[in-house]
Amino acid sequence: SPEERPQFPGASAEFAERLEFIQPNVLAGIPVYRVMDRQGHVLRPSEDPQLPKEQVLKLYKTMTLLNTMDRILYESQRQGRISFYMTNYGEEGTHVGSAAALDASDLVFGQYREAGVLLYRGYPLELFMAQCYGNASDPGKGRQMPVHYGCPERHFVTISSPLATQIPQAVGAAYAIKRADASRAVVCYFGEGAASEGDAHAGFNFAATLECPIVFFCRNNGYAISTPTSEQYRGDGIGGGRGTMDFLPGFPHFPLIFHRFFPASHAFSAHFSPFAVDFPTDFSPVFPPFPIHFFPVSPRSCWVPPHPSPTSHVFPPRIGHHSTSDDSSAYRSVDEVNYWDKQDHPISRLRLYMAKRGWWDEAEEKAWRKSSRKMVLEAFEQAEREPKPPPRLLFSDVYLEMPPRLRRQRAELERHLETYGEHYPLQQFQK
């Protein structure tokens, strides 16, 4: 009876008369949802969203265009043309699949490996290149390191380097949207490594208690920067079913990655609805992890109270290195990388799906690969020709009215360059 239930504030459990320690290693993890096998066959016809050919082609072309851009910019970094780069190999499907499920006005907070979301929204190749080169056409005016894209017009918040800082920021934006009663949602991308940061757990709790319109999207590629998941947390990365790391039995839906060091009672209090999606074997882009196309209740709409904030936990393989500053062979085998690249690549599986429907053939593949490479190279060459932003921009865009100390510093720099300009590559900069 209700009178016999615990009356502790904030508790919704029941009493237990027998002491029982629930061991997490004997509990099954949350099942991983998939629609398609490795050969491009839909496993259950009722789960096929029957997307139109035009949308599937857009998804495929966005993925392959991103892949082409990655290859060219990665090689350009190795040649010393840009300072840094991060590829998206193997994770392309998580980008375009989730982007396709969002409304164009939904606000995106990325981590640093979500270029495909921006590309799907129509961000030009020329601006990708300009940002990586830090030239005068870069909307960020050359102040950010490469791959830190941003675009207010496409509702994509500029990337920042510190891990997990975007999570509480995204929750704050979602709360502001809720207070404004705007018909928008926020999606926040992060990796399983970032979820170990304190900012992540603070953000999760704020989102749940304030019932914010936000979708959390965790990309678990298994290694964070260089740490295998077996060393990051205990469990499968999502939730073990109930009661993990707690003496109180009966806590179902242990969501996302709280079980790395959160007790189940605290995790459950966060009140999220987890989705586990097998991206490498699930024909990633056409069947997004929170698709408005075919889920009975899409994660994007789940935030409406009393529904909990949805959490999509996807398993994309990171086929490339973490970045150009990383050598992934130090912490994983080359055979593992080759397996994902040759046997379980999302682009290959999407192509199989289209071929089975007569939507794509070898001739179209060759023509598209050639034209996409040409587009990327043209944007690349244009970015190389562009000059760098003028040095005076070091002092602008911080204060509405520049304080006297900054005006003095700017004047000092100008005098210095006038006197010693021959020692600097000023010809590479705008005047």
Average pLDDT over residues 4-17: 76
Which helix (H) or strand (E) covers residue 405, if one does?
A: helix 404-420
Q: What percent of the chain has pLDDT over 70?
A: 79
pLDDT class of 41 with cuts at 50, 70, 90? confident
Cα(111)–Cα(164) distance, integer angstroms: 7
Which tens digit of pLDDT belongs to each residue from 219-239?
A: 888 899 999 888 887 766 544
CA-based radius of gyration for the chain: 24
Range with the lowest mean pLDDT among 26-35, 74-83, 117-126?
26-35
pLDDT class of 162 with cuts at 50, 70, 90? very high
pLDDT class of 118 with cuts at 50, 70, 90? very high
Q: Map 158-198 to HEC letters.
A: CCCCCCCCHHHHHHHHHHHHHHCCCCCCEEEEEECCHHHCH
Range with the lowest mean pLDDT among 19-23, 72-76, 199-203, 352-356?
19-23
Res. 42: pLDDT tops 70? yes
pLDDT at position 5 is 76
Which tens digit of pLDDT belongs to each residue from 314-360?
A: 778 899 999 999 999 999 999 999 888 888 888 998 999 999 999 99
Res. 262: pLDDT tops 50? no
The residue with greater pLDDT, 225 or 292, is 225
Average pLDDT over residues 48-66: 94
Residue with token string 């997990």: 164
Alpha helices (runs of H) in 210-357, residue ranges in sequence order: 229-232, 264-270, 334-343, 346-356
Q: Map 57-89 to HEC letters.
A: HHHHHHHHHHHHHHHHHHHHHHCCCCCCCCCCC
Residue with token string 């289209």: 354
Average pLDDT over residues 295-307: 46
pLDDT class of 196 with cuts at 50, 70, 90? confident
Q: What percent of the chain has pLDDT over 90?
A: 58
pLDDT class of 8 with cuts at 50, 70, 90? confident
The residue with greater pLDDT, 53 or 50, is 53
Q: What distances in angstroms separate CA 22 from CA 245, 288, 290, 355, one per listed residue?
A: 8, 34, 31, 48
Domains and CATH numbers, the chain: 21-385 (3.40.50.970), 391-428 (no CATH)
Question: Which amino acid makes up residue 232?
Answer: Q
Which helix (H) or strand (E) covers residue 375, if one does?
A: helix 362-385
The residue with greater pLDDT, 282 or 155, is 155
Q: Is 171:207 a contact under the CB 8 Å cutoff?
A: yes
Active-site residue, from 137, 196, 309, 323:
323
Q: For residue 409, what are the contacts with CB-CB under 8 A and spacing of at least 6? A: 395
Cα(298)–Cα(290) distance, integer angstroms: 6
Give, as one character, the DSSP assignment of residue 421.
Answer: G
pLDDT at position 257 is 31
Q: Is 75 a catalytic residue?
A: yes
Res. 190: pLDDT tops 90? yes
pLDDT at position 12 is 73
Calculate the CA 160 to chain-centre distance.
13
Positive or negative, the CA dihedral 322, 328, 331, 335 is positive
pLDDT class of 405 with cuts at 50, 70, 90? very high
Q: For residue 383, what are the contacts with CB-CB under 8 A and spacing of at least 6? A: 126, 129, 130, 132, 133, 135, 137
CB neighbour burial string for 232-267, b if at least 16 within 10 angstroms, e if fewer: bbebbbbbbbbbbbbebbbbebbbbbbbbebbbbeb
pLDDT at position 343 is 82
Cα(39)–Cα(352) distance, integer angstroms: 7
pLDDT at position 37 is 83
Give, as one character, the DSSP assignment of residue 30.
Answer: P
Active-site residue, from 12, 161, 329, 396:
161
CB neighbour burial string for 204-213, b if at least 16 within 10 angstroms, e if fewer: bbbbbeebbb
Q: For residue 284, what are the contacts with CB-CB under 8 A and spacing of at least 6? A: 92, 93, 94, 97, 316, 346, 349, 350
Residue 84 phi, psi (nearest 5): -165, 150
Q: Is 138 exposed, middle or buried (0-12, 13-18, 19+ CB in 10 A)?
A: buried
The residue with greater pLDDT, 319 or 242, is 319
pLDDT class of 309 with cuts at 50, 70, 90? low
Active-site residue, from 148, 271, 321, 322:
322
Positive or negative, the CA dihedral 156, 158, 162, 167 is negative
Q: Is 161 a catalytic residue?
A: yes
pLDDT class of 424 with cuts at 50, 70, 90? very high
Provide the whole-model pTM. 0.85
Angle between helices 92-101 and 53-78 (to 10 degrees): 140
